[in-house]
Amino acid sequence: MQSAGDSLVIARRNLIRMTRIPEVVLFGIIQPVMFVVLFTYVFGGSIKVGNSTSPQVYKDFLMAGIFAQTVTFATAGSAAGIADDMQKGLVDRFRSLPMARGAVMTGRTVADLVQTCITLLVLAIVALIVGWRTGSAEPTNFGRVLGAFGLLLLLGYAFTWIGALIGLSVRTPEAATSGGIIWLFPVTFISNAFVDSSQMTPWLRHIADWNPFSATVQACRVLFGNPGVSTSQAWPMEHPVWASVVWSILIIVVFRTLAVRKYRSASV
């Protein structure tokens, strides 16, 4: 209970800081909106989904990938923010307080999750404006749609712990920004987010099908009722919802443990 209370205090501190620097939230929203518009109107009709090259089919196929990319790219912000706190000596201040060691990292990731929720809400509205619709391939309902967004937030929260570990491992916010985003490009592009993985070469398709990012994208397409449901026999593609939950929890457990351990060693 003490750890939870301490974590909420730190989360509140970071949320207050966020309201005082609104441009951080604004720029975090603009980037995914640009991805939606560019991918929809530049690649729509040029990329094959199943047996169709329809712009509307690709639009419905694309949005789950854009949503997932957005929540994972929040990793870079987490890494930079934590590195900035380390550089300014905030870690030493927290060390002098009677608080749980893991609360600093947990509070930061919870605050980042709130920002991700805001970004995802705005992005969903923009997606609806450009023509994305749920239930375009298979029937769905409001509960399943909410479940899809829940999986996205779970994945985003898991990836913020990777960002936390990166932020604790570098010396400057600039290095944390670079280190927090450079590995995300192969993770998001060697996946089923933007193209149908069945169109890839066999060895690359195998990597994409077992990519944790792909599992969440596939689960969202299933729950949204959008086109692009995989025919792969890989377990994550056959059971994407379960695979998404398992991958996300595993990432949280592993990287939270590593991040808290790194924080403790950095605080000595």
Whether 207 has a pLDDT exceeding 90, the answer reads yes
Higher pLDDT, 201 or 268: 201
Question: If we measure between CA atoms, which residue out of 111, 260, 79 comes closest to residue 181?
Answer: 79
> Residue 254 has what DSSP assignment?
H
Give CA–CA dist 99/104, Å, rounded. 9
Residue 52 backbone dihedrals phi, psi, to 5 degrees: -120, 145
Model pLDDT, residue 98 = 78
Mean pLDDT calculated for residue range 52-71:
87
Of 230 and 209, the structure prediction assigns the larger pLDDT to: 209
Q: What is the share, in percent, of the chain residues with pLDDT greater than 90?
A: 36
Helices (H), the chain: 2-20, 22-38, 55-87, 90-95, 103-130, 142-169, 173-181, 184-189, 202-209, 212-224, 235-238, 240-266
If one compares 189 and 177, the residue with the highest pLDDT of the two is 189
Q: According to the model, what pLDDT value does residue 268 have? A: 47
Range scoring the smallest mean pLDDT among 10-19, 160-169, 182-191: 10-19
Amino acid at 12: R
pLDDT-derived band at 213, boundaries 50, 70, 90 = very high
The encoded tokens of residue 2 equal: 């003490």
Average pLDDT over residues 71-86: 84
Which residues partner with 105 through β-bridges? none
Instruction: Tell me what percent of the residues of the chain surpass a pLDDT of 70.
Output: 98
pTM: 0.90
Q: How far apart are CA 155 and CA 184, in angstroms?
A: 13
Q: Which of 182, 242, 244 is nearest to 211 (CA)?
A: 244
Query: Domain map of the chain by residue range?
Result: 2-266
**pLDDT value for 13:** 84
**219: Cβ–Cβ under 8 A, 6 or more apart, which residues?**
148, 151, 240, 241, 243, 244
| pLDDT band at 266; cut points 50, 70, 90 | low
- List all residues 6 or more positions away from 167 whose beta carbon is below 8 Å from its beta carbon: 78, 79, 80, 81, 82, 83, 86, 176, 180
